Amino acid sequence: MITVSLCMIVKNEEKVLERCLDSIADLVDEIIIVDTGSWDRTKEIAARYTEHVLDFRWTEDFSAARNYVFSMATMEYIYSADADEVLSEENRERFRLLKETLLPEIEIVQMKYSNQLRFGTVYNFDEEYRPKLFKRKRDFVWEDPVHETVRLMPVIYDSDIVIEHMPQESHGKRDLACFYKHCRQGLRLSKRLHELYARELMLVGDEEDFRQAREFFTASAGDAYRDGEELAQACCVVARAARLAGDTVAFFKHTSKVIAEEACSEICCEMGHFYEEEGDWEEAAVWYYNAVYETRPILSIQAGGREGLEGLIRCYEKMGCKEQVEIYKEELSSRDGDINKR
């Protein structure tokens, strides 16, 4: 049977930490918790489960904190958990069996991360595989200052363990502030982080977030070293920022760049919002329809779903088309029901 170190970084997690640790503590052989500056009862709760509660000065770099807590581990494998995660009884048993049967050549075990859509996170998938258990003998290195990931090409096993993600609140605003700071300092975002920054903006960003991000993504939209996907992402962000700022020239400049190549749900929604704000309900409805039925989302799944359907409902209500309103309300209800069943 393998031995496992549970490694966590936490800050002000008193509402969820006990729930998390109760579901995993007896399955691991060592618990190491690094606190990055809590002012609530987080450290007190952590101390009930382990004597290894350490402090780490927060530098707005998640990878630095994870590298530090990983360096403290002494067991064969490292299990990386966040405080808002929970293992059900069924998945606790799967974890226990995994410890007993894991082949020695496996270096990373991926587990399914669930409940993404139900709890309003900034992801487009309700369930996805994530690396969670790491063989310690390898030199695993965390990289990127936000939405950190492990660098290396290990032997990976996709397990049947499902981790329930049950956050108390969205971390999107925290991440956006971190993105903005590092971009201002001159960090060139990788393709992965470029998409994540754009996605979080489209999902949870407010007018101030778009104002701050506009300069970076305007430059990105004109960057010859970015590929077509990154160009479209940047144009989505700049189009919304321009619409919110009332900059019609920049708005149409960046929406037309995407439409000329291949329209996406996000750009169609932006066009819908623009014409809706102009009081042109018929034209707005055309674009919302295209967002839902004729294109696909590249950043926010809601652009091709709830956002577009709600736009159609508003427009047809303004035009007095009750039958169409009911059709799209039924469609919206059906899609929401599918999400809640997952």
Amino acid at 304: G
Q: Are 112 and 127 in contact, with CB atoms under 8 Å apart?
A: yes
Is the domain of 203 the same as that of 159? Answer: no
Is the domain of 101 the same as that of 204? Answer: no
Give me the residues paired with residue 9 across strands.
34
Count of alpha carbons within 13 Å of 308, Cβ hemisphere only? 27
Q: What is the pLDDT confidence band of residue 215, given thresholds at 50, 70 and 90?
A: very high
Is 127 in a helix, a strand, or coil?
strand
Is the domain of 78 the same as that of 115? Answer: yes
pLDDT at residue 165, as a whole number? 87
Is the domain of 91 the same as that of 227? Answer: no
Q: Tell me the C-alpha distance between 276 and 282, whole Å.
A: 9
Q: Tell me the C-alpha distance between 9 and 27, whole Å.
A: 19
Is the domain of 154 the same as that of 176? Answer: no
- Count the domains in the chain: 2
Q: Tell me the C-alpha distance between 103 and 68, whole Å.
A: 27
**Which tops the pLDDT comparison, 308 or 340?**
308
Is the domain of 205 the same as that of 264? Answer: yes
Would the pLDDT of 79 be above 80?
yes
Mean pLDDT of 78-106: 95
CATH number at residue 246: 1.25.40
**Nearest CA-CA partner of 11 in 33, 50, 37, 31:** 37
Q: Are 229 and 235 in contact, with CB atoms under 8 Å apart?
A: no
Residue that is last in its domain, among 107, 141, 165:
165
Q: Are 172 and 126 in contact, with CB atoms under 8 Å apart?
A: no
Is the domain of 52 the same as that of 191? Answer: no
Q: What is the 3-state secondary structure (H, E, C) of 238-281?
A: HHHHHHHHCCHHHHHHHHHHHHHHCCCHHHHHHHHHHHHHCCCH
Q: What is the pLDDT confidence band of residue 275, given thresholds at 50, 70 and 90?
A: very high
Phi and psi of 226, rounded to 5°?
A: -90, 145
pLDDT at residue 336, as a whole number? 76
Q: What is the pLDDT confidence band of residue 118, given thresholds at 50, 70 and 90?
A: low
Is the domain of 75 the same as that of 220? Answer: no
**Which tops the pLDDT comparison, 85 or 124?**
85
Is the domain of 56 the same as that of 179? Answer: no
How far separated are the first and last CA of the chain, in Å rounded?
33
Residue that is last in its domain, among 165, 185, 200:
165
Mean pLDDT of 49-56: 97
Is the domain of 45 the same as that of 146? Answer: yes
Which two structure tokens, joined as six digits, stand for 196? 């994540």
pLDDT at residue 126, as a whole number? 60
**Nearest CA-CA partner of 237 in 299, 281, 282, 193:** 299
Is the domain of 306 the same as that of 321? Answer: yes
Residue that is last in its domain, among 165, 197, 231:
165
The predicted-structure confidence for 287-327, as pLDDT tens digits, reads as follows 999 999 999 999 999 999 999 999 999 999 999 999 999 99
Range of the domain at 336: 172-341
Q: What is the pLDDT confidence band of residue 12, given thresholds at 50, 70 and 90?
A: very high
Average pLDDT, the chain: 92
Is the domain of 152 the same as that of 213? Answer: no
pLDDT at residue 335, as a whole number? 82
